[in-house]
A = this chain, B = another copy of it.
Amino acid sequence: MTSVRAAVLSAPRTIDVVALPVTEVPAAGAWLDVESCGVCGSDWSWYRDRPIPSPFVPGHEMVGRIGEVWGDHGNPGLRVGARVAVEEALPCGSCAVCRSGRHRLCPLSTRYGGTGLDVAPGLWGGFAERVYLAPRSNVHEVPDDLDAELATLFIPVSNGLSWLSSTAALHPGESVLVLGVGQHGLASIAAARRSGAGAVVAVGRAGDEARLAAARELGADVVVDADRMDWTDAVLSVTAGVGVDVTVDTTPAATDSLGRAVSVAAIGGRIVMAGLKSGRPSPVPTDLLVRREISVRGVAARESWAVDSALAWLTREPQAFEAFSSVTVGLDDVERALLALGGEQPGERPVHAVVRCQ
């Protein structure tokens, strides 16, 4: 192998599929032959307008088969022929954070789909035929009978499972509010339902009709278009004035959502904050946190068990995920997948987009 075809993002709105020469190869690791790689909202935002310090191959929701393994890697998951999904964080594995079981937060970690061409061997992103897997990669087995495109949903689906079950410690029957109906909002709705939630309220916006319909299909009892009505009223009505037990905020920019979520949280309510707000602070009525003993819990990713749980669920009940309508393209058309996910592709507004890499 002397070169690998890969999509390189070198500047906003500049992504090119090229043959990257493979020169310097680390002493140990594996090559993953990527089957499919999902497009994440963060890929879109990198493409759209984030400053690019150094050209890189994006894409981190990747599923494929290990084609080659070498060196003293010490990782039982790296076996030739294994079909795997890969966690996006590449942690050090040895710091206090990693040792506590939270390697997703390792302060020394690098990320697949976010590491530059200048770090050998350069092939760190899933929008490529091959990706280099470093020894400390966290890979998870993917059953042979799970469709690769569906499998790329393992990231939002595992996040939803981890946030509802671990972070919020949802009990069956508790009420759930999900803010935002993108991949993570929809996955949270599905995870709430799977964990036995009682009433589920989902909130989206005008223009998101397809996603609001998907929310309903995935099991939301009440779906609110926030541009047409006040969702706090809907929550109070559904919960008979008691307030909601668990909220997941996946909205990417709104800084008023948290304060409003606090205002309709039940006594002992838990709010999972999953949406990045471009660095801007949200005003929080802390006296309500105190009087009702509400908690707000930030989440960056998921506990690892949830990845295996997501893959098993996707395999067992593929039909449950039909609402995640998807656009699938070949590697050469990666830009179209990005634009579709971002809503800039006329006539397309999919929930998910996938790049087929072989």
Tell me which residues across on chain B come within 8 A of A166, comparing CB atoms: 171
Q: B295–A96 contact, CB under 8 A?
A: no
CA distance A286 to B279 in the complex (A): 8
A93-B74, A161-B172, A305-B100 known; A273 and B298 CB under 8 Å?
no
Q: A94-B138, A267-B105, A298-B290 are in contact. Are A283 and B281 (CB under 8 A)?
A: yes
CB distance B94 to A292 under 8 Å? no
Q: Could you tell me which residues of chain A, from 290 to 307, have a CB within 8 Å of some CB in chain B?
A: 290-300, 303-306
Within 8 A of B (CB), among A84-126: 92-97, 99-103, 105, 107-108
Known: A26-B72, A72-B27, A312-B173. A289 touches B305 (CB 8 A): no
Closest to A281 in B: B283
How far does the alpha carbon of A31 sit from the alpha carbon of B72 in the complex, in Å? 18
Chain B residues within an 8 Å CB radius of A299? 290, 293
Residue-wise, chain A 60-88 has the 8 Å CB interface mask toward B (1 for contact) of: 00000000000110111100000000000
Known: A75-B92, A94-B75, A94-B136. A198 touches B101 (CB 8 A): no
Chain A contacts with B in 262-286, Cβ cutoff 8 A: 267-268, 273-286
Give the interface centre of A96, A139, A161, A285 by most chain B CB atoms within 10 Å: A96
Q: Indicate which residue in B92, B101, B289 contacts A76 across the interface (CB closer than 8 Å).
A: B92
**Nearest neighbor of A105 in chain B, beta-carbon distance:** B267
Shortest Cβ gap from A121 to chain B (Å): 13
Q: Is the C-beta of A341 less than 8 angstroms from some C-beta in chain B?
A: no
Task: Tell me the interface secondary structure of chain A in the complex.
Answer: loop
Q: With an 8 A cutoff between CB atoms, is A191 at the interface?
A: yes
Residues of B within 8 A of A279 (CB): 285, 287
The answer to whether A93 touches B96 (Cβ under 8 A) is no
Does B304 lie within 8 Å of A297, measured CB to CB? Answer: no
Cα distance A109–B87 in the bound complex, in angstroms: 22
Q: A136 is contacted by which of B93, B134, B303 (Cβ under 8 Å)?
A: B93
Q: Which of B173, B174, B194, B296 contacts A296 (CB 8 A)?
A: B296
On chain B, the residues within 8 Å of A313 by CB distance are 172-173, 196
User: Is A10's beta carbon under 8 Å from chain B?
Assistant: no
Question: In the complex, A66→B355 CA distance in Å?
Answer: 47
**Count the A residues whose beta carbon is within 8 Å of the partner chain — how many?**
83
**Smallest CB gap from A284: residue in B:** B284
- Distance A50 CA – B301 CA, assembled complex (angstroms): 45
A133-153 interface mask toward B, CB cutoff 8 Å, 1 = contact, 0 = none?
011111100000000000000
- Chain B, Cβ-Cβ closest to A162: B171
26 interchain pairs (CB within 8 A)? A27-B28, A27-B71, A74-B134, A74-B135, A76-B95, A77-B95, A93-B93, A93-B136, A94-B136, A97-B268, A99-B138, A100-B303, A100-B304, A107-B267, A172-B191, A174-B305, A195-B195, A196-B196, A274-B290, A280-B287, A282-B283, A289-B298, A290-B298, A292-B300, A293-B298, A296-B297
| New A-B contacts (13) at CB < 8 Å, excluding given A100-B305, A165-B196 | A27-B27, A77-B95, A100-B101, A102-B293, A173-B306, A195-B196, A196-B309, A274-B290, A281-B283, A283-B283, A286-B298, A289-B297, A295-B298
